[in-house]
Amino acid sequence: MKVEFKINNTSKYLELLPNETLLQALRNNDFTEVKCGCNEGECGACTVLLDGKPVNSCQVFAMSAHEKEITTVKGIGTLYTPHLLQKTFVETGADQCGFCSPGMVLAAYSLLKENPQPSREEILAALDGNLCRCTGYVKIVDAVENTAKKLHTNNLVME
């Protein structure tokens, strides 16, 4: 069946089955930026924002999200219009294999939206649901801190 969803501020019709998870529905409809690392809600690679809150899309039925605002990592910035946070991830070297990056970026985005000047502890806690095996998290946490510094220095509001 085809169901209308609001994804990245655009109305989209997704072809899906009633029992599909949001992760399946998104990936089957070319939103491959949402990654599947475990399908059990434990790695955070499939993180999307539902009405601005990060969720593991493998643990959400697609139909339960159809009246909500869905944001994937492309919704905050793309290759040609990257978000400050995404640019800072690359500058800082927080990008290794990149498989956790879409989820990690969204978890960090959601934190900075709510708390633009988080402490290191608050960053660690906010990223706790997103696994990364490449970086040891060091440069990822640095990237979030660096973004916060840029927001502060340039008096920017997190968009």
Question: Given the rule CB under 8 A, which of 59-67, 79-87, 110-118, 148-156 is the region that contacts another protein?
Answer: 79-87
What one-letter code names the amino acid at 76?
I
Q: Distance between CA 129 and CA 43 in Å, rounded?
A: 7
Question: Given the rule CB under 8 A, which of 62-70, 111-119, 139-147, 151-159 is the region that contacts another protein?
Answer: 139-147
Q: Distance between CA 136 and CA 3 in Å, rounded?
A: 40
Cα–chain-centroid distance for residue 19? 23
Torsion, Cα 3 7 9 13, to 10 degrees, reads -30
CB of 140 to another protein, least distance (A): 7
CB of 110 to another protein, least distance (A): 14
User: What three-state secondary structure class fits 48?
Assistant: strand
Nearest residue (CB) to another protein, 68 versus 72: 72
Q: Which residue has the tokens 């690392």?
A: 37
Given 3, 33, 50, 145, the residue binding another protein (CB under 8 A)? 33
Asked if 93 touches another protein (CB under 8 A), the answer is yes
Asked if 109 touches another protein (CB under 8 A), the answer is no
Q: Distance between CA 119 and CA 143 in Å, rounded?
A: 13
Question: Given the rule CB under 8 A, which of 60-68, 110-118, 125-133, 148-156 is the region that contacts another protein?
Answer: 125-133
- Give the Cβ contact number of residue 130 at 10 Å: 24
Binding site for another protein (CB under 8 A): 32-40, 42-43, 45, 72-74, 77-79, 82, 86-87, 89-102, 105, 123-125, 127-141
